[in-house]
Amino acid sequence: MKRVQFSSVYLPYLFIAPQMAIIFVFFYWPSVQAIQSSFYLEDPFGFGATFVGLSNYSDALGSVQYQAIARFTVVFTVLVTFLSLGIGMLLAVKADAVLKGSSTYKTLLIWVYAIAPPVAGLMGMMFFDQHIGPLVKFAALFGWDMKVGLNYNDTAIAMIIVSVWKQIPYNFIFILSGLQSIPVSVREAAAIDCRSGFRRFWTMTLPLLAPTAFFLLIINMTYALFDTFGVIDVMVKDKAANNPITLVYKVYMDGFRGNDLGGSSAQSVILMIVVFVLTIFQFRFIERRVHYN
């Protein structure tokens, strides 16, 4: 680590001040506000707030609906994370092996990432449209009558597919650059030492990709938990009645549709704790097994 000497003790603080100001305004302050309002029952019309202690939390955690949504969120997050990581990795490994026209191929794969989440949701919606959606027609070939927006499971599957599709290019870019940072000679040495390409992938490529994969694991989980909001919003079209939603969407629904700011705040604090615990867990237990060069 290189140490920099500053002429004044205040100078380094001045340098990090803009960054800290942004974090404070957009993260710490709202967080503190959320924690505070999670202990109050807010009047929907803003006429006042009553201190209710932990009852917002017990209401949320005790609700059957909340528990069902939490269960769906876990399934959704796990599936989206592993599918998008897995497919992204498969594509990257294959693209890395392509010699001719590889840049065109890579660009085509990366393009999808430039689509904004709500647009992706809209496109996904069109893919699963009851009348014109090609994927619905494809499902019909197998006798599966997909009713996205009406049937709980069908909507869940469509939501997962669109979310995974949207995230694959991101994973693809990172894994591809991770692959290309593995020295050519190390790969060649492995090619001489090990005949099976499959075995080479598991014993050589994957361990050397581990730092990238670990980073992506965290990013993907955060994506599945929070950034899929736009996709879900378009898919369930604000009518969450019998449709699967994730916890983040419920925070939004309760807070801005149901005007229950206290309950909504309590839920977002719960989410904050979940993410906090997850991140600590990942850094303590997974990162240790990851090899850094």
Partner 1 sequence: MASIGIKDVSKIYNGGVTAVSAVNIDIADGEFIVLVGPSGCGKSTLLRMVAGLETISEGSVTIGDRVVNDVDPADRDIAMVFQNYALYPHMSVYDNLAYGLKNRRTPKAEIDARVAEAARMLELQPYLERKPRALSGGQRQRVAMGRAIVRKPSAFLFDEPLSNLDAKLRVSMRGEIKRLQRRVGTTSIYVTHDQLEAMTLADRLVVLSGGKIEQIGRPLEVYHRPATTFVASFIGSPAMNLVSGEVHGSKLALGPALIELGATVPTQGAVTVGLRAEDLRLHQGLDGSMPFRIDYVEELGAQRLVHGLVGDQPMVAALSAEIPLPETASLSIASFRLHFFDTASGRRIDWAGERAGAAATSTVEFVIS
Site residues (vs partner 1, CB under 8 A): 183, 185-186, 188-196, 199, 203-204, 207-208, 210, 291, 293
The separation between CA 101 and the C-alpha centre of its own chain, rounded to angstroms, equals: 31
Looking at beta carbons only, is 257 or 291 nearer to partner 1? 291
Residue 250: strand pairing partners: none
Toward partner 1, which CB reaches closer, 43 or 188?
188
- DSSP per-residue codes, 68-127: HHHHHHHHHHHHHHHHHHHHHHHHHHHHHH--TTHHHHHHHHHHGGGS-HHHHHHHHHHH
Phi, psi of 183 (to 5 degrees): -55, 140
Q: Which is nearer to partner 1, 70 or 216 (CB)?
A: 216
Query: Cβ of residue 186: shortest distance to partner 1, in angstroms?
Result: 5
Smallest distance, Å, CB 5 to partner 1? 30
Q: Least distance to partner 1 from the beta carbon of 86, Å?
A: 21
**Smallest separation, CB 93 to partner 1 (Å):** 18
In the complex, least distance from residue 107 CB atom to partner 1, rounded to whole angstroms: 22
Instruction: Classify each residue of 3-35 as buried b or exposed e, where b means 16 or more C-beta atoms within 10 Å of its C-beta.
Output: eeeeeeeeeeeeeeeeeeeeeeeeeeeeeeebe
Q: Which is nearer to partner 1, 239 or 288 (CB)?
A: 288
For residue 229, give the nearest of 252, 255, 261 by alpha carbon. Answer: 252
Contact 1, 228 (CB under 8 A): no
In the complex with partner 1, which residue's Cβ is closer, 70 or 209? 209
